[in-house]
Chain A
Amino acid sequence: MTMNRADKPLMSIEDIAVSYGNSPVISGLSTVIEEGTLVGLIGPNGAGKTTLMLSAAGQFRPVRGHVYFEGSDVYEHNRDFKEKVGYVHEDPFFYPYLTAEDFLRFVVGVKSVPKGDIDGQIHSLLKLVDLWAERGKVTSALSMGMRKKLAIAAAMVGRPRILFLDEALNGIDIESTYRIKRSLRDFAAAGGAVILSTHTLEVVEKLCDRYLLLKKGRVIADLRAGEVTGQRGVGEGGSLERYVIRMLSDPDDVDLQ
């Protein structure tokens, strides 16, 4: 894993609070995402993972705090920021009457990709997610796994600087998962950043170099890949799973109020 750019902040999230009506979901959360990192977002259901990703991706304005991308407030320059962001929702949407290729062309058109680069990008993205043979099928005829792959390809349109993947690798076949994971590593190595939310700890453990553990809208653990071993209650050679379970079940480590 290339970590030579890891000390340069790409995104900084400063003391954000998000609420739905009167119910707070995230309160006082701050963190920094560096260039070249793959961040795994872990936490129980309702911890605020999706909300945090939506807020960081400029899609859900926090009631308090700021999100900066390369030093600029993402909500002040929302459209420009979104040109540099790729987002895969847990349940992605597609226009059912468009083919896989046409759907990518739609996203390409909206994302202002230079004309000369359009065909090349579509070709390489369809190859990357192994949908080249299915490019002529309408999206409603694609299987769930294929739709996920298409959503990943759509998120990578326009060569974004930062990718948000919400349970994006679920339901994808082994070979494609391998290829996507490899390309995510390459993406990070080229100076991008990936934020991946998932409940599958194996994926986080093998792919990510930093883990953010969320509980009740707050970060209760933020550590690098090598730092799990030796943590209290986990011991030498301990797994991420053991660490997460210990952190989530130990009331001393988190203010449950």
Chain B
Amino acid sequence: MNRLPSPSPRLMRSWLRPQLWMPPFLWGPPVHVRDTVARVAAALLIVSISVVVYLSATGPRLHELPDQEALIDVFFRIVFVPIMVLLVAWYIASLKLVPARASEYVFLNSLPLSRSSMHRLFLISGMCRFPWVPFCMSVLLWALAVVAPASFLIRLNVLALAVYALLQTAGITLHLVVSLKRAGGTSTSFPAKNSPLIQLGVVMAYAALPVIWILYPGQISGGSFWLVVGACGLIAITLFAVSKHVFESWRGTNVILRSIDMRDGSPRMGYKAWARVLSVALVPLKSNPLLIRNLVRSSREASLGSRFILGLFFVAISFLIAMNNESIQDAATILSGMFYLYAFFVVMKDMDRLGADEELPALIYSMPVTKGQLYLSVFVPMIVWLATIALVQAILVVLAGGGVALAARFVLMSILISLVFCVIGVSSAVGGYPNRTDALKRFLSGMFSLAVLIVILYKYRLVVMVAVVFLSLLSLLRSRLYRT
């Protein structure tokens, strides 16, 4: 057989193509603009590195340390909670974005790229997906400037950035490993589906390392700093090699392309064993196929994993904030306030399940279910989840010395408020269907009216809430469901 013409030197030296090593925001502009920007950026980078090394890692500056007690105090009082919020935002955003990675691979696979170029591109675009995370972290760490010398903060920021890059690479590699493991079985599920646990590990490690360096600042000063830098370099080289190897194996399995082909055929849905057990265990619900299906579906989705992890985050953050108060009564009040906020967002998110984009409306027309059954299928998971969170918080209140009576009052109030939110949420979703914005407007105006009523009739707030639940349920039962 004939051979194709030999690749041109330009083609061979793929690293010369700016697309394969530049950050994605520089992929687009015309060549002459991009080349100029790239040259300027490269020059700036070299100058910046020199300045950073001079200001933070040479001479006496390398040994400068902050007042440890003051640093820890400011960090935990001011910086820690915003960092946790940042990490939660990163976690949510990363869970939403990951499925696109497999499509990206399929796209890149159709382009004339060498294996190493594709791997590099895959890593670069993966790392650049959340540029705001290291930026915000850096801003938050600079808030410590009131108690720490600049040289120390520069070292801390440089290492935080390095840790971010390393953890992102590690996260991508682990996702590929998980995909490979899944491909080895008979599962036909999308192989690049995110694992909430891996992402949680990445997020937690990103938070943990700067915290360790703040607790033990000596580890990033003097010779230890260069040791840490060297260790980061070695880990980076190892990670790059491992991720390249895993990427190659992942490519070789063809599972990504298999998933494309599956789109053409009938989807094969399978419920997990524990979900089947759960559906059977819920005996009172067994008579309702929609309810069981919906519950099983909910529990099968990765969103339950992310909801679980986000719930843990919420419990941890709210407890840390509340425990800043010396009085346990005050702490319980703050905990209640944060729980109401959490319940508000959970209900707002769950309203989408009754929206036009979900499968429930379509199922209503194809299955013999009543309105009551439909409402229950949305209510039950919402209430159970919120009650679980309230219960966990109540246990923490008891452990913190709050007493059982206080905890019981907290749980009862939380469940009642959750019930009110859920009823208003569901009736707004039904009333606004199929317009999501309209549904949200109804929900917000309903919540506002309730808040005003409670403020005016504070003494009778329990009666007001029970009345709202009752009236909303009544209106729900009388309302016309969708097009029926």
Contacts and interface: CB of A to CB of B under 8 A. Distances in A.
Interface of A: 20-21, 25, 45-46, 48-51, 54, 57, 59-61, 68-73, 77, 79-83, 85, 87, 89-93, 95, 97-99, 101-103, 105-107, 109-112, 115, 118-119
A115 B31 CA distance: 8
Grouping DSSP codes into helix (H, G, I), strand (E, B) and loop, the A interface class, with mixed when no group exceeds half, is: mixed
A50 B261 contact: yes
Given A79-B113, A83-B112, A89 B260 contact: yes
17 contacts: A20-B261, A46-B266, A50-B261, A54-B260, A71-B2, A79-B113, A80-B4, A82-B110, A95-B27, A98-B24, A98-B28, A105-B28, A107-B111, A110-B113, A112-B8, A112-B10, A112-B17
Given A45-B265, A101-B28, A102-B28, 13 more contacts: A50-B261, A54-B257, A59-B257, A68-B1, A72-B3, A73-B1, A90-B263, A90-B264, A97-B24, A105-B29, A109-B18, A110-B17, A110-B20
B4 A50 contact: no
Given A90-B263, A93-B106, A79 B27 contact: no
Contact of B258 (A20, A90, A102, A105): A20
B475 interface: no
B92 interface: no
Nearest to B104: A93
Contacts of A112: 8, 10-11, 17, 112
A110 B24 CA distance: 13
A105 B100 CA distance: 21
Contacts of A87: 110
B67 to A, nearest CB: 42
Given A46-B265, A110-B112, A118-B31, A72 B103 contact: no
Contacts of A93: 100, 103-104, 106-107
B27 A105 contact: yes
Q: 6 tightest A-B contacts by CB?
A: A102-B28, A46-B265, A82-B112, A93-B107, A71-B2, A93-B103
Contact of A80 (B7, B111, B260): B7
B189 interface: no
A92 B107 contact: yes
B372 interface: no
B111 to A, nearest CB: 5
B125 interface: yes
A45 B265 CA distance: 5
Nearest to A21: B186
A245 B261 CA distance: 22
Contacts of A95: 24, 27, 104, 125
Contacts of A81: 4, 112
Among B5, B10, B27, B29, chain A packs the most CB atoms within 10 A around the CB of B27
A99 B106 CA distance: 20
A5 B414 CA distance: 77
A88 to B, nearest CB: 9
Interface of B: 1-5, 7-8, 10-11, 17-20, 24-25, 27-31, 100, 103-104, 106-107, 109-114, 125, 186, 254-255, 257-258, 260-261, 263-266
Contacts of A91: 103, 260, 263
Given A72-B1, A83-B112, A90 B30 contact: no
B111 A110 contact: yes
Nearest to B31: A115
A87 to B, nearest CB: 4
Nearest to A111: B112
A105 B34 CA distance: 11
A77 B6 CA distance: 9
B112 A97 contact: no
Contacts of B110: 57, 59, 82, 85, 87, 89
Contacts of A48: 261
A131 to B, nearest CB: 15
B4 A72 contact: yes
A228 B387 CA distance: 67
A119 B30 contact: yes
B27 A106 contact: yes
Contacts of B19: 106, 109-110
A68 B112 CA distance: 17
A109 B20 CA distance: 9
B106 A50 contact: no
B32 to A, nearest CB: 9
B264 A46 contact: yes
A207 to B, nearest CB: 21
Contacts of A25: 261
B3 A99 contact: no
Nearest to B258: A20
A50 B259 CA distance: 11
B27 A109 contact: yes
A103 B104 CA distance: 13
Contacts of A20: 254-255, 258, 261
B4 A70 contact: yes
Nearest to B1: A71
Contacts of B11: 79-80, 83, 112
Nearest to A199: B264
A99 B28 contact: yes
Contacts of B27: 95, 98, 102, 105-106, 109
B313 to A, nearest CB: 26
A213 B125 CA distance: 39
B444 to A, nearest CB: 26
Given A81-B4, A97-B24, A102 B29 contact: yes
Nearest to B11: A112
A66 B20 CA distance: 30
A93 B125 CA distance: 13
Contacts of A79: 7, 11, 112-114
A60 B111 contact: no
A11 to B, nearest CB: 13
A45 B24 CA distance: 37
Given A83-B112, A97-B24, A109-B19, A70 B2 contact: yes
